[in-house]
Amino acid sequence: MDNDKAKAETYHVPVMPGECLEGLDIKPDGIYADMTFGGGGHSSLIVSRLSERGHLYGFDRDADSEANAIDDARFTFVRSDFRYLANFMRYYGVDSLDGVLADLGVSSHHLDDEGRGFSFRYEADLDMRMNTRGGMTAADVLNTYDEERLAAVLRNYGEVKSAGRIARAVAQARAHRRLSGVADFLEVLRPIVPPFAEHKELPKIFQALRIEVNDELGSLRDMLAAAIRLLKPGGRLVVMTYHSLEDRIVKNFIKAGNADGSVEKDFFGRTRTTLRPVNTRVVVPSDEEVERNPRSRSAKLRVAEKL
């Protein structure tokens, strides 16, 4: 397991590992799903607490993460978008789960990989796909979406104030040439995003494109709906979010069992609820963890129990 830990932390440093394990309240004979396997940091810790009868399914749609798969009979790697949780549990003959963990957002591996186009720091093709086997790229979005649709992506997924101006500038630029690389896009953005604002605005712009390319919010909604159905009574849902869009969806599911937070009531006016919040206040990383791993700064951990 020490080897697994070193390999995992090279790929992605697991955030709040102790708090996640506490939230899952692991039963040695339990069946669990890690929806964001990545480097396997959280998964390795979960597997170490399982008996021979326990099992963990680790999901990841990125082929790179499969190299980190844990060589253990108690672990199964599932190369898939986590929105297909229910399909794969049915395939493996799993009727119910004792716990589901999801560490959302983009991994350090993606941000630091100079060839994937996730970061504005490196010149690369504008790809941004978690699963490089298919689907549209960020370049496809920039070159094919009309102004209104592109502005909506930037506004809704990045809360970018200059979304309209950026969409207009992109439309004008692509009329002369295809925007293929990070440098092409930055050239369009420079007249709109001043140097003093780049550190704040560029991450939001790239986040918006990444969310659109990977349908991250749609996948999250599908996964949470499946997780709620699959969890046993007393089973735990543990989710870490990194921006307000994800967090709002998770909060709504915990509160009402659906993405929009609409509460259903029974004949007597009592609220129908499927989950009980375990931590009434959101859990955040300690100052020491943030100092050790600055990328954990924006993490919010929510834990709920199936009723």
Cα–Cα distances (Å) from 43 to 23, 131, 275, 277, in that order, read: 14, 20, 24, 23
pLDDT at 264: 83
Q: E strands of the chain, at which residues? A: 31-34, 55-60, 75-79, 97-103, 231-241, 264-265, 271-272, 275-277, 300-306
Amino acid, single-letter form, for residue 248: R
Residue span(s) of the chain under CATH 1.10.150.170 come to 114-214
As annotated, the binding site includes 40-42, 60, 82, 103, 110
For residue 70, the SS3 value is: coil
pLDDT at 112: 62
As annotated, the binding site for S-adenosyl-L-methionine includes 40-42, 60, 82, 103, 110
DSSP H or E run through 25: none
Residue span(s) of the chain under CATH 3.40.50.150 come to 2-103+216-306
Domain spanning 114-214, CATH class? mainly alpha
pLDDT in tens, 149-200: 999 999 999 999 999 999 999 999 999 999 999 999 999 999 999 999 999 9
Q: Closest Cα partner for 208 from 157, 134, 264?
A: 157
Q: 2-103+216-306 adopts what CATH topology?
A: Rossmann fold (3.40.50)
Report, as ranges of residue numbers, the positions in the chain whose pLDDT lies below 70: 1-12, 107-115
pLDDT at 10: 55
Distance (Å, rounded) from C-alpha 260 to C-alpha 225?
12
Q: Residue 64 class from Cβ within 10 Å (0-12 exposed, 13-18 middle, 19+ buried)?
A: middle
pLDDT at 269: 74
